[in-house]
Structure 1
């Protein structure tokens, strides 16, 4: 049974902890995922492709059951406890996001947490960083297929001030050579709707979001991602509610106005030196 202290370390709200404790898992579904998660710990290179339970509450139960395995992997790597728990606490954050989006206990982004439980991603200050390999199908400028890079991810944990971003980048540049020396890295990448050229050109240039996006050199062809803009701005997938979304910030107004004008938000890629 998971202790209150572990729930707290994993970022659970009291409401989500209570619902997790009340939930009766499907033992077959949970054990199947537990077996897959255990087999995937420490497997670097590509995102896990697992058979996931239909009821995402069973996914949470499996993740809780395998906390000892991923914690042991972190320990064997010498990764400090604060970084280990900060990384795994994305589970609690994602539960809160799911509750805000759907109004109930569950894990809509269940696939995302399998990356954490494989030991591929780490929370280092304001940002998260995921180890992966470049492929011929998804090249990165200045790298070769098979080369290791880190993908930057932006958790919902506050502003992207230049000071916090600088500190996070500095921490990442120390972390990976120390704890993953067999994976030499010289490039960081970002795939996000925050790199949409329209956003970077139409938000105030002194905003934290624009200053963050300008750190990355764009490459490749942007892809349509209307849902990402709506979900990450308003925590909704319903384009039919445009007139109901709050319009309190410049970003909120920009997201809605572009869609109403017939535009489409896009995901774009960028890279910078590690």
Structure 2
């Protein structure tokens, strides 16, 4: 799982069956137990850095949220244990509505950052499930907390920007959603951040997984209760595709 406190990204060396969640498929919860066992070490690491207990609690609570998301998607245990290594290794913190991951950019992300004039140290934003509306006020508060949090607890890492790669930044959404919707207003916070290598490939299952949970069902059987649900489905049924797009903002 990497070194505690070191910003090194998602691990690629988990044992087979644990990294992809199949070890949890029978309900034994092996990955879940590993994180529960690691939690005291993470809490001690946070205390040593002076991180407030409420930040520790809200960050590690993502374990329970991810279990709930897996159940919503029709499976037992954790569907993506690698994701939670960021939380328990002290690399990601939840500050209100948003999560912030400490990153020293490399590879394609570093090339995109250089083209945009961003330094190699940048905070990667994540938008967790089950944490309320993505309202402008909630995002403002989270960003304000991040501006104070990281210089205080990680003074050797100079974060002057934050970036995100998400289907929520696909500009096609603005063709379907109201002008004042939370998603459209969230998009407008960011300047484009483009990875090298040409146009991105379609990622239609990405928004479907986050909005509907089960991506194996026919589009005709999925609910159309919200504006976002109708937008995703209407666009796909008309022959369109959805894309993960990047954006950045100055801190």
* TM-score normalized with structure 1 length: 0.81
Question: Distance in 2 between the 1:68 and 1:237 partners?
Answer: 36
Q: Kindly state the Cα deviation for residue 137 of structure 1 after the two structures are TM-superposed.
A: 2.5
Query: Partner residue of 1:34?
Result: none
1:142 to 114, 117, 121: 117
- How do 1:79-118 and structure 2 match up within 5 A? 79-102=51-74, 104-118=75-89
Counting helix residues as a fraction of each chain, which structure ranks higher? 1
Contact 1:74 1:119 in 2 (8 A): yes
Q: Which residue is 1:76 aligned to?
A: 48
How far is the alpha carbon of 1:167 from its aligned partner? 0.6
Shift in Å, 1:136: 4.2
Alignment of 1:164-203 (within 5 A): 164-203=138-177
Q: Distance in 1 between matches of 2:212 and 2:133?
A: 16
Query: How big is each residue's C-alpha offset from its partner over 1:65-117, in whole Å with a ceiling of 9 and x where there is no partner?
Result: 11111111111111011000100000000000000111x43101211111111
Task: Say whether 1:151 aligns with 2:100.
Answer: no
Mapped pair 1:42 → 2:5: yes
Question: What RMSD, in angstroms, separates the aligned Cα atoms of the two structures?
Answer: 1.4
| Equivalence for 2:96 | 125
Unaligned 5+ runs, structure 1: 1-36
> Which TM-score applies when normalising by structure 2?
0.89
Which stretches in structure 2 are left out of the alignment for 5+ residues? Answer: none
Question: Contact 1:222–1:269 at 8 Å: present in 2 too?
Answer: no
CA deviation map 1:27-54 (0-9, x unaligned): xxxxxxxxxx4x5211213322231424
Q: Label 1:72 to 1:217 Cα distance change in 2 as closer, same or farther (>3 A).
A: same
Higher relative contact order (Cα pairs below 8 Å, separated by 6+ residues):
2
Aligned pair count reads 233
Distance 1:111 1:265 in 2: 25
8 Å contact from structure 1 (residues 223, 268) kept in 2 = no
